[in-house]
Amino acid sequence: MSNRTEVEVRLNVNGRDYRVRVEPRRTLADTLRDNCGLTGTHLGCEHGVCGACTILADGEPVRACLMFAVQCEGMELRTVEGLADGDRLHPLQQAFWENHGLQCGFCTPGFLMLATGYLEQRPEPDEEELKEMLSSNLCRCTGYQNILKAVKQAAAEMRG
Amino acid sequence: MNYIGSSVLRIEDRPLLTGEGRFAADLSLPDQLQMRVVRSSVAHGRLVEIDTSDALALDGVEAVWTHQDVQDIPPIDFRMAWVDGLEPFRQPILAAGITRYVGEPLAVVLAEDPYLAEDAAELVYVEYEDLQPVVDPYQPEPGEAVETTLVEKGYGDLEEAFEGAAEIVEMELRVGRHTGVPMETRGAQAWYDPLRSVVEMFGAAKVPHHNRAAIASMLGLPLGSVLLREGHVGGGFGIRGELYPEDVLVCLAALRLGRPIRWIEDRKEHLLAANHSRDQVHRIRAAVDRDGWIRGVDDECWVDQGAYLRTHQVTVTELTTSLLPGPYVWPAYRSRAHVMLSNKTPCGTYRAPGRFETTFVRERLIDLISDRLEMDSVGVRRRNLIPADQMPFHREIEALGTEVTYDSGDYHLLLDRTLEFLDYEDLTAALARRRSEGEVVGLGMGFFVEKSGLGPFDGVRVTVDEAGEVVVTTGVASVGQGVETVLAQVCADTLGVEAESVRVRHGQTDEIAYGMGAFASRVTVMSGSATLLAAGQVRERALETASGMLEAAPQDLTIDRGRVFVQGSPDGPSVMLGEVAARLRPGQAEGTPGLTAEGWFEVDHMTYPYGIHCAVVRVDPESGEVTVERFVVAYEIGRAVNPKLVEGQIAGGAAQGIGGALLEDFAYDESGQPLTSSFMDYLMPTVVEVPEVEVLLCEDAPSPLNPLGVKGAGEGGITAAGAAIANAVADALGGSEEVSCLPLSPERVRRIARSLPRP
């Protein structure tokens, strides 16, 4: 591997700095998972369709499979590992649990981060807006309705 | 507290919500090598040469193997076998001389890093000599297609049924190729542990005990030298957890190279290489009387298995031919199924295998019969349903080695309850009104009988330790369906503890000697019953032991939240279960040490849940788009351990069914090149395409075959989705017979709509 170029990248994830050496072609998702040990960000398709790898970059939901780690220096990244406050679940996590919004749980981190980013910017969405937003991620277990219910419940709680 | 029957929140959710899940790709070991599979780019070809030299020359590439390197390993054997002599059609772990589908493993690269392994895989040069591919192995001219076997099932006097018929109704129907497509792709990691002399594989699912035996046998190792571990599993649906070439290759490489080997599939590989399913053509004929009574049905079908017979052998065809009659009497019946090979991805099971397809075929036929006789389709269904007083109903057919005997049911009652739930008269009147206003809307129904609880056994060990912690250990697996919560509920009620305090361990082959696994909607039926038996024995032992401690007769004692006391005296003397366990240390008490027991539940016959799907659709005749406005599932579950989880299973199944009915289709061009190898082309439903699934959960016909009275919940959400939606589309389009092919993609629906006379 000696002939492969690696560069040093500093990533800020969930408020913590990580200094990693990666090839420029290494995706953000792989870097988070393999170099930072944050395996809560899942890869479902690696071509930007399923949304399982959705994280927040400077508050915006992004597909971590479509970004390179080297693009993310200086950004504030947030992943599912940073969502709960210690033992206290984030309102979205709590609402997914209470509404049976997950079965296998593989797509869950992506949905949680997608909805977190969305609700932080638009705290009072109507149902059609929520559906439009949630249609950017795929779930194969739940049939989506419990996810929709969970996000509605969490939105109300996050508004306080 | 009564946990059974209560919608308690799942006990397994927390790590999945916080990012602490441990899926197949989440484990990383020091010094590991990454495996990358070189796959065939042609559908059918002779392998003239595979040149690995450039790949091997890359720094960091440890090994590249082709068939020559693994020719001592036998092909992957059948997990379920129903027909003798089909061994020649099994798949080798790396193609031997000829490749038979795009995506077939030809070679593997083992390298230090996954990116490097992918680079190296691209440097493996394969020279093919093209052979003629078979893409559509159906009638009337099968051409060069190989028919592996003919599966034939039937009963009654078909000749007489057709001779005396007032009308003969014929139809040709086709169900496209689609499959489970779990959100997590496959993955496996294997390493050799010299301390215990075992090769261990993480990433097992569905049937770990079976796969352990199969891997041990293929590698020539004693059973005890292979250990399989299940982590979190990102969806099952039939496809995940079957034994595939890659699982064997990682174990082999770990043994030969002495380093951990990790293989994580990408999505394109998944869509090309993991089991496809469905893909059937049926020609069906019914002999009917003027009053709608169906005298007999004759079916001939072609099942496209793809390039090899994998672990399921002809299981889907077995289920197709034996369960096609569904809920109807049908005094005479025959199905002849041609199991065909083609140069496409091999097929296996997908949620409701054989039932999704045959329910579509049967229920479209019922609607066509109704149209021909100018009768209401509900009336035709009612006329032909098996009456409740004929339960248990013997079909005189065998499926999966056991007689098809519907154990309990009142089909007419469920039909009545469904019509009431729908407000049927009002609904049909409203749809008629909308049609008169120019809307293209329709209502469709599909009645089905599911099967569940396939035996022959499963076992559970319940243990209470001295701290009072309860552990349920089972040989079944979790694919995300809620196994832990359901078994904890059964254990908690039986033993007298809180469900939240019960830990459930599953899918680890070194923790329990036997396990059948998670498929065929069997876990709650089989392991639920085994948990009941094991926890009952632990309770008995606890009461006996506590009897001496509390100086009261065992039958006067009870257990609540882990505390044993005299019934009616909750404030009197008591002992905790942990204290009872401490009295059972070796040498301190007679009998087996510890507060523990195993329960083994055995059963010869399956239990048959049943249900009705109803769909209301709106069709845009210009674009061909079908919108599902309402989707109702009425389902007889016998007894629901956790109604919310049952509804979750049904809603999820219905969503997949809507996908199979309208969107999902593995298309191939004439040279056998797949046209759907990414999520850009293989379309799955999003939240926009799936309406709120309305569930009418009924507990009117408990199963007499198990102590809980339960029937399986895993598959009934999907079974009649294709049927109900197709019938609804046909209804919207004026009863068109052209609605005979799934999926009802926009181009297909548009073509049908344009062929109809304009109103």
SS (H, E, C) B73-141: CCCCCCCCCCCCCCHHHCCCCCCCCEECCCCCEEEEEEECCHHHHHHHHHCCEEEEEECCCCCCCCCCC
Smallest Cβ distance to B16: which of A50, A84, A108? A108
Give residue A128's pLDDT band: very low, low, confident or very high (50, 70, 90): very high
pLDDT of residue A4: 77
Where among A50, A82, A114 does a domain terminate?
A82
Q: Do B549 and B676 reside in the same domain of the chain?
A: no
Inside any domain, residue A124: yes
Instruction: State how many domains chain A has.
Output: 2
Q: Which of B427-431, B486-490, B602-606 has the lowest mean pLDDT?
A: B602-606
Per residue in B198-215, pLDDT tens? 999 999 999 999 999 999
Distance CA B332, CA B362 (A): 15
Helices B721-732 and B643-662 pack at an angle, to 10 degrees, of 50
The percent of residues above 70 in pLDDT, for chain B, comes to 99
Verify whether the Cβ–Cβ distance B19 to A103 is below 8 Å.
no
Residue range B693-704: mean pLDDT, rounded: 98
User: DSSP state, A71?
Assistant: G
Instruction: Establish if B645 touches chain A: CB-CB under 8 angstroms.
Output: yes
Residue range B568-576: mean pLDDT, rounded: 96
Q: Do A99 and A66 reside in the same domain of the chain?
A: no
Instruction: Establish if B692 touches chain A: CB-CB under 8 angstroms.
Output: yes
Q: Name which of B751, B755, B733, B745 is nearest B367 in CA terms.
A: B733
Collapsing DSSP to helix, strand or coil, B67 comes out as: helix
pLDDT of residue A1: 45
On the question of pLDDT at B362 being above 50, the answer is yes
On the question of pLDDT at A54 being above 70, the answer is yes
CATH of the domain at B57: 3.90.1170.50
Q: Do B425 and B484 reside in the same domain of the chain?
A: no
Distance CA B602, CA B623 (A): 53
Q: Do A50 and A98 reside in the same domain of the chain?
A: no
Per residue in B286-323, pLDDT tens? 999 999 999 999 999 999 999 999 999 999 999 999 99
On the question of pLDDT at B182 being above 80, the answer is yes
Cα angle, residue B21 at apex, residues B16 and B23 outer, rounded to 5° = 125
Q: Do B659 and B558 reside in the same domain of the chain?
A: no
Instruction: Establish if A34 touches chain B: CB-CB under 8 angstroms.
Output: yes
Instruction: Establish if A68 touches chain B: CB-CB under 8 angstroms.
Output: no
Inside any domain, residue A1: no
CATH of the domain at A152: 1.10.150.120
Cα angle, residue B204 at apex, residues B203 and B206 outer, rounded to 5° = 135
On the question of pLDDT at B704 being above 70, the answer is yes
Instruction: Establish if A31 touches chain B: CB-CB under 8 angstroms.
Output: no
Q: What residues make up the domain containing B595?
A: 454-602
Give residue A2's pLDDT band: very low, low, confident or very high (50, 70, 90): very low
Instruction: State how many domains chain B has.
Output: 3
Asked if residue B597 lies in contact with residue B538, where contact means CB atoms within 8 angstroms, the answer is yes
User: DSSP state, B638?
Assistant: S
Give residue B375's pLDDT band: very low, low, confident or very high (50, 70, 90): very high
Q: From the CA atom positions of chain A, what is the Rg in Å?
A: 16
The pair phi, psi for residue B677, each rounded to 5°, is -125, 15
Q: Do B190 and B262 reside in the same domain of the chain?
A: yes
pLDDT of residue A14: 98
Return the structure tokens found at B404: 């098809």
Distance CA B750, CA B280 (A): 23
Instruction: Establish if A142 touches chain B: CB-CB under 8 angstroms.
Output: yes
Q: Do B513 and B645 reside in the same domain of the chain?
A: no
Residues of chain B neighbouring A153 (CB-CB closer than 8 A): none
Mutation for testing the A interface, residue in B183, B240, B272 having most A CBs under 10 Å:
B183
What single letter denotes the amino acid at residue B98? I
Cα distances (Å, whole numbers) of residue B610 to A44, B297, B633, B711: 33, 21, 10, 9
pLDDT of residue B143: 63
Q: Do B442 and B479 reside in the same domain of the chain?
A: no
Chain B 4-63, CB below 8 Å of chain A: which residues?
Answer: 9-10, 13-14, 16-23, 25-26, 28, 59-60
The pair phi, psi for residue B13, each rounded to 5°, is -80, -30
pLDDT of residue B756: 83
Q: Do A78 and A95 reside in the same domain of the chain?
A: no
Q: Do A62 and A106 reside in the same domain of the chain?
A: no
Residues of chain B neighbouring A127 (CB-CB closer than 8 A): none
Instruction: Establish if A116 touches chain B: CB-CB under 8 angstroms.
Output: no
Asked if residue B257 lies in contact with residue B33, where contact means CB atoms within 8 angstroms, the answer is yes
Q: Which of B104-113, B369-378, B613-622, B727-736 has the lowest mean pLDDT?
A: B727-736
Residue range B517-536: mean pLDDT, rounded: 95
Residues of chain A neighbouring B271 (CB-CB closer than 8 A): none
Residues of chain A neighbouring B13 (CB-CB closer than 8 A): 96-97, 102, 105
Q: Do A65 and A130 reside in the same domain of the chain?
A: no
Inside any domain, residue B292: no
The pair phi, psi for residue B144, each rounded to 5°, is -90, 5
Distance CA B301, CA B283 (A): 6
Starting at the earlier edge strand, list the strands of the sheet with B277-288: B147-155, B332-340, B294-304, B277-288, B167-178, B741-742
On the question of pLDDT at B758 being above 80, the answer is no
Verify whether the Cβ–Cβ distance A1 to B60 is below 8 Å.
yes
Inside any domain, residue B278: no
Verify whether the Cβ–Cβ distance A38 to B19 is below 8 Å.
yes
Q: Do B474 and B514 reside in the same domain of the chain?
A: yes
Q: Do B715 and B627 reside in the same domain of the chain?
A: yes
Nearest chain B residue (CA) to A55: B19
Distance CA B489, CA B435 (A): 49
Collapsing DSSP to helix, strand or coil, B169 comes out as: strand
pLDDT of residue B138: 85
Beta-strand ranges (E) seen in chain A are: 7-13, 16-22, 54-57, 60-63, 76-78
pLDDT of residue B589: 85
SS3 content of chain B, % helix, strand, coil (to 5): 30, 25, 45
Return the structure tokens found at B657: 């069914």
User: Which secondary-structure segment (H or E) carries B17?
Assistant: helix B13-18
Inside any domain, residue B662: yes
Judged on CB neighbours under 10 Å (0-12, 13-18, 19+), B206 is: buried
Instruction: Establish if A158 touches chain B: CB-CB under 8 angstroms.
Output: no
Instruction: Establish if B76 touches chain A: CB-CB under 8 angstroms.
Output: no
pLDDT of residue B590: 86
pLDDT of residue B145: 82
Where among B556, B582, B602 does a domain terminate?
B602
Residue range B437-457: mean pLDDT, rounded: 96
Collapsing DSSP to helix, strand or coil, B294 comes out as: strand
Instruction: Establish if A54 touches chain B: CB-CB under 8 angstroms.
Output: no
Q: Do B751 and B702 reside in the same domain of the chain?
A: yes
Where among A32, A61, A82 does a domain terminate?
A82
Nearest chain A residue (CA) to B184: A44
Inside any domain, residue B442: yes
Q: Do A11 and A59 reside in the same domain of the chain?
A: yes
Cα angle, residue B749 at apex, residues B743 and B752 outer, rounded to 5° = 125
Return the structure tokens found at B65: 């193997």
Inside any domain, residue B119: yes
pLDDT of residue B735: 75
Give residue A3's pLDDT band: very low, low, confident or very high (50, 70, 90): low
On the question of pLDDT at B343 being above 80, the answer is yes
Residue range B677-685: mean pLDDT, rounded: 97
Per residue in B105-120, pLDDT tens? 999 999 999 999 999 9
Starting at the earlier edge strand, list the strands of the sheet with B693-698: B441-449, B610-619, B626-636, B693-698
Per residue in A74-87, pLDDT tens? 999 999 999 999 99
Q: Name which of B82, B85, B732 is nearest B401 in CA terms.
A: B82
Nearest chain B residue (CA) to A80: B19
The percent of residues above 70 in pLDDT, for chain A, comes to 98
Q: Do A116 and A51 reside in the same domain of the chain?
A: no
Q: Do B201 and B225 reside in the same domain of the chain?
A: yes
Nearest chain A residue (CA) to B8: A98
Distance from CA of A144 to the nearest CA of B (A): 5
Inside any domain, residue B291: no
CATH of the domain at A49: 3.10.20.30
Asked if residue B345 lies in contact with residue B101, where contact means CB atoms within 8 angstroms, the answer is yes
Inside any domain, residue B22: yes
Asked if residue A47 lies in contact with residue B680, where contact means CB atoms within 8 angstroms, the answer is yes
Asked if residue A106 lies in contact with residue A53, where contact means CB atoms within 8 angstroms, the answer is no
Return the structure tokens found at B391: 């339960």
Is the four-CA dihedral B206, B73, B96, B145 of positive or negative sign?
Answer: negative
Inside any domain, residue B137: no
Q: Do B715 and B630 reside in the same domain of the chain?
A: yes
| Mean of per-residue pLDDT scores for chain A | 96
On the question of pLDDT at B88 being above 50, the answer is yes
pLDDT of residue B591: 86
Give residue B140's pLDDT band: very low, low, confident or very high (50, 70, 90): low
On the question of pLDDT at B423 being above 50, the answer is yes
Inside any domain, residue A40: yes
Return the structure tokens found at B664: 């999902």
Distance CA B732, CA B435 (A): 8
Verify whether the Cβ–Cβ distance A145 to B13 is below 8 Å.
no
Where among A56, A82, A108 does a domain terminate?
A82
Smallest Cβ distance to A105: which of B185, B480, B654? B480
Nearest chain A residue (CA) to B9: A98
Asked if residue B436 lies in contact with residue B509, where contact means CB atoms within 8 angstroms, the answer is no
pLDDT of residue B753: 93
Verify whether the Cβ–Cβ distance B655 to A142 is below 8 Å.
yes
What number of C-beta contacts closer than 8 Å exist between A and B?
A: 179
Residue range B506-510: mean pLDDT, rounded: 96
Collapsing DSSP to helix, strand or coil, B48 comes out as: strand
pLDDT of residue A160: 81
Locate tokens 């069906």: which residue? B284
Instruction: Establish if B116 touches chain A: CB-CB under 8 angstroms.
Output: yes
Judged on CB neighbours under 10 Å (0-12, 13-18, 19+), B63 is: middle
pLDDT of residue B139: 62
Count, residues in chain B:
759
Per residue in B40-87, pLDDT tens? 999 999 999 999 999 999 999 999 999 999 999 999 999 999 999 999
Distance from CA of B563 to the nearest CA of A (A): 28
Asked if residue B95 lies in contact with residue B47, where contact means CB atoms within 8 angstroms, the answer is yes
On the question of pLDDT at B271 being above 70, the answer is yes
Verify whether the Cβ–Cβ distance B18 to A132 is below 8 Å.
no
Where among B602, B633, B650 does a domain terminate?
B602
What is the biggest distance separating any 2 CA atoms in chain B, rounded to whole angstroms?
Answer: 88
Residues of chain A neighbouring B656 (CB-CB closer than 8 A): 140
On the question of pLDDT at B555 being above 50, the answer is yes
Instruction: Establish if B86 touches chain A: CB-CB under 8 angstroms.
Output: no
On the question of pLDDT at A112 being above 70, the answer is yes
Q: Do B640 and B736 reside in the same domain of the chain?
A: yes
Distance CA A49, CA B566 (A): 60
CATH of the domain at B473: 3.30.365.10
Mutation for testing the B interface, residue in A30, A39, A104 having most B CBs under 10 Å:
A104
Starting at the earlier edge strand, list the strands of the sheet with B502-506: B502-506, B470-474, B457-464, B595-602
Inside any domain, residue A71: yes
Inside any domain, residue A2: no
Residue range B622-639: mean pLDDT, rounded: 97
Instruction: Establish if A155 touches chain B: CB-CB under 8 angstroms.
Output: no
Distance CA B665, CA B680 (A): 12
Distance CA B158, CA B154 (A): 9
Residues of chain A neighbouring B26 (CB-CB closer than 8 A): 33, 39
Rounded to the nearest 10 degrees, how much is the dihedral formed by the CA atoms of B544, B547, B549, B550?
150
Greater confidence, B95 or B137? B95
Q: What residues make up the domain containing A97?
A: 91-159
Where among B273, B296, B331 does a domain terminate?
B273
